[in-house]
Amino acid sequence: MTLRRLITMVPLLLVLLLILILFGAGFALKILWWVAIAVLVLWLIGFVARPKGASGRWYRW
């Protein structure tokens, strides 16, 4: 009886683990999209609002 119970629990645990992994990856990817959008907005602001008389580059690389 214990072996039968174990056989039914393993697939259930694997499905729950898969759900947790996919939820975590989705959450992380959503955060990365927001970070990418914020960086793009900052880059565009720096590109548009460059100082007058500058040589064309607003960054110091």
Say yes or no to pLDDT of 1 above 60.
Answer: no
pLDDT at 59: 58
Query: In terms of pTM, does the model score above 0.85?
Result: no
* pLDDT of res. 29: 85
Looking at residue 61, its amino acid is: W
Per-residue pLDDT tens digits for 6-45: 777 888 888 888 888 888 888 888 888 899 999 999 888 8
Place of tokens 């683990």: 17
Count of all residues that appear for the chain in the document:
61
